[in-house]
Structure 1
């Protein structure tokens, strides 16, 4: 007889044996549906989640899955603890973040201004918004009037550097618990304190807080708040680019960085609530990660960006791989192999890769012939080509195509500079005036389809799963394939059954794009329209 006993879980409410688990976190049990509802009301709602925050010597505080998380599942929804404009920016509304346009006032152009503190705003409603209330009150009390006025459309104002830190400091009185939450975040102030930027911030922000507003904070606390923002803030942008802010999300800030993350995030509603989405299945116990930089940068640029702005050296799996998972995103062809060989097919060319990707001073070596170059040569060459790409005329495809052709013997087809040029072309072909899908000649339509496949190959390796990058490329691909099918059928190059088969392939791609992008509000109407149009084509006997 087996006398071993197995521990029976107990109901979270009544402590009686229970079999029904919470559908969210899978961590607590209930004896009945009624007790599950009661437990939810009594506090489990605030604790129920698919993650936990834990600490280790290697990673510090980080987020870990408490159960298996499905692809596309929402892991976290969080309101910003603090939000404000970037350190320096063109005039934006302090409440809603809208980029401001001047209005005619007394025979000259200027912005709408808050009637109390004189900061540029977009309307009287935003002037009275809660987010602006406390700062306006203290500035008015100290007789401070903002002096920003319209001078030109491109004028960047450094005065905005005071707003976000001031809002956190004012929380000490208005919301002390949130103030402590923000102040508990990593600041890396010691790494920033003597940088040129912080010497400027010290002269402006500290002077404003202590001397102008007469708030009871010392210099170190003020600079720490500024550094906490620089270390932890998320770049909040509206889909149309009209709003750009930075915000601190205390819980989301606990996620560690990875150059191949397993999540993506979007911002929903006027309150800019962060919504965190799993792009791939995440197993119980696995770290939940986000990226703090651009996934399509090469390793040199990514690590430099992270060191400069986030004050750490990334040592993730991708950064350690000199080929970046076989994409060669930051690599170039070996000039010796190219010059010596008459066979210059891609498979025969030697690639220069770093001998130690985690050391920016390490030399680079050809995988094929062993030829070395110094790291500074890679830096110089990379920066020169970046500058050239940035100065390209972006109104049409010609300059981008010329850039790709000009450097095809130097840059791998998936080098990050080539990828950026291909992304630009993908947007132009099918979307720009004169290059819409109906206007594209067949060879450019095929070019767009080939570009999509090139970019999807990179997405699968660097941003696998339901990333926004993959979703947007899929949307472009299915549209181009659908147009190609229509033309081939109309030109009697394919039969009706072949056309319907190809349209079904397009529908599969579209459905995947819908799964990825449907949570983004601005995409809802677009996706519904595309699905309806493609469904009509499939149902139409004449296509």
Structure 2
């Protein structure tokens, strides 16, 4: 979002890094203003000790919607450490599934020779060149099997650990100060995965102070504290470590919004007003997941049990995102959504029949697996999931909303489903699904919700096309057609007010430019 210089009112390109409340066109005007500004320069947040959560971030002053809380560049970025990474270039993170080149020094697959000189790859390149086979090899029961040097055989889970071990002392110290939950990881068997798939590879290289305890701690820190990034053109999500941002407490009803630029800079803003002294929350789970799935994921990945205002509410703040339907058409609502013991029950609000909560949780896991096996571009499979499950799940159940969210983009955006050629029925469904997603966001993500901004843009697409079709069918007069265009511009402007905070050099930043262009175009009609 463009700001004006506090001194000359020209377009600003930098902020005061103390408070982020004022902006300047350059260093000269920032220096000029410092004598006056320093009296009121108050940092947006402070860190305090919480008896349960440890170090947490709290508002140091009242924060308005959209106000910057923090800007922080990642200390470390790289492929995920859970062995789930798709083949990608370790320098720019583009996909290497179809085309790649081998680094001439270490043999690691890259998207092009240009990426060989990327500073991000430099330190690990020197290490990997000691043993060009190791990063491709498979390790099982202390035996080593060499594999072909192709992207799919790369042990990507090692890259982030290598980069951590090779950091300068000050940067490494900032990471090592974060929680690793090593004891909990040992109890869950996660340390064995590190012993089997990471340490044997690291041990093939000569790395100073790369002892097993440090490797285990790093893996725990990454597992617990990493943020997920998706740079423009990336072949997969990547992990980033932001030590200051890691101080945010979790809540499934967050009050912040996190944005990332392609150069791995995080911008954290207040999604809604935050009062001085209030905790600053980030949601480390997926908004469009039911309570059990969110809580289990947080416990296994972040090692804490969420008891936020949303998780404790049987109706999830009246969104019913975890509610099953009873054969009598009533809603099966848990007595205590935090209770998953064998005696826990959920009761129909109509016929009063009780169902073991564990039975519903098992059905949820079954549906989640089915959902995750659907190819993103398989529109008909998404539609079939809706048809199959809309009689057992509340219309606002998280799984149905996930499908509707996907279809709201697919209709008019996926191959074979062009906005000009999709059926009238699908176009109307696109509109309906967008409205449903926006309504849920108003409950669960009030304020500057990224998803709301994206769904508003898709809603404009739907209504704009509906307007064109109705006019071509002579169902509208020229005056009505023009009025509808103006109404639809309002939807675009609402989307822009949310999305304009996105960094220019980001995936969503590209969308912001498109929205601005469309607004200008539509207003000129």
Give TM-score scaled by structure 2 length.
0.84
| Deviation per residue, 1:120-152 (Å, 9 max, x gap) | 223333323322222333444578754366688
Structure 1 residue aligned with 2:338, among 358, 373, 376?
358
Cα gap change, 1:266/1:491 in structure 2, threshold over 3 Å: closer, same or farther? same
Matched, 1:232 2:258: no
Find the counterpart in structure 1 of residue 299 from structure 2: 307
Find the counterpart in structure 1 of residue 101 from structure 2: 112
Give unmatched runs, 5+ long, in structure 2: 1-15, 23-27, 138-146
Shift in Å at residue 266 of structure 1?
2.1
Q: Give distance in 2, aligned partners of 1:123 and 1:393.
A: 28
Q: Give distance in 1, aligned partners of 2:393 and 2:351.
A: 17
- Most deviating of 531-540 and 128-137: 531-540
| Deviation per residue, 1:440-463 (Å, 9 max, x gap) | 333332222111111111111122
Cα gap change, 1:36/1:439 in structure 2, threshold over 3 Å: closer, same or farther? closer
Find the counterpart in structure 2 of residue 168 from structure 1: 164
Give unmatched runs, 5+ long, in structure 1: 1-21, 29-33, 104-110, 339-348
Cα gap change, 1:113/1:440 in structure 2, threshold over 3 Å: closer, same or farther? closer
Find the counterpart in structure 2 of residue 17 from structure 1: none
Shift in Å at residue 184 of structure 1?
0.6
Structure 1 residue aligned with 2:216, among 207, 212, 223?
223
> Contact 2:42/2:60 (CA < 8 Å) preserved in 1?
no
> What SS does structure 2 have at the residue aligned with 1:326?
coil
Structure 1 residue aligned with 2:123, among 102, 118, 134?
134
Cα gap change, 1:489/1:39 in structure 2, threshold over 3 Å: closer, same or farther? closer
Find the counterpart in structure 2 of residue 82 from structure 1: 76
Trace 1:39-438 onto structure 2 (pairs within 5 A): 40=34, 49-87=43-81, 88=83, 89-101=85-97, 111-140=100-129, 146-147=135-136, 155=152, 157=154, 159-171=155-167, 175-210=168-203, 212-213=205-206, 215-269=208-262, 271-335=263-327, 338=328, 349-361=329-341, 362-392=344-374, 395=377, 397-438=379-420
Q: How many residues align?
A: 488
Q: Give distance in 2, aligned partners of 1:248 and 1:537.
A: 42
RMSD after superposition: 3.2
Shift in Å at residue 294 of structure 1?
0.6
| Deviation per residue, 1:243-278 (Å, 9 max, x gap) | 532111011111111102112222213x31112232
Cα gap change, 1:41/1:294 in structure 2, threshold over 3 Å: closer, same or farther? farther
Trace 1:383-532 onto structure 2 (pairs within 5 A): 383-392=365-374, 395=377, 397-518=379-500, 519-521=502-504, 522-524=507-509, 526-532=511-517
Find the counterpart in structure 2 of residue 3 from structure 1: none
> Contact 1:500/1:538 (CA < 8 Å) preserved in 2?
no
> Contact 1:90/1:156 (CA < 8 Å) preserved in 2?
no
> Contact 1:119/1:145 (CA < 8 Å) preserved in 2?
no
Q: Give distance in 1, aligned partners of 2:208 and 2:266.
A: 31
Cα gap change, 1:535/1:496 in structure 2, threshold over 3 Å: closer, same or farther? farther
Q: Give distance in 1, aligned partners of 2:518 and 2:61.
A: 39
Shift in Å at residue 391 of structure 1?
4.2
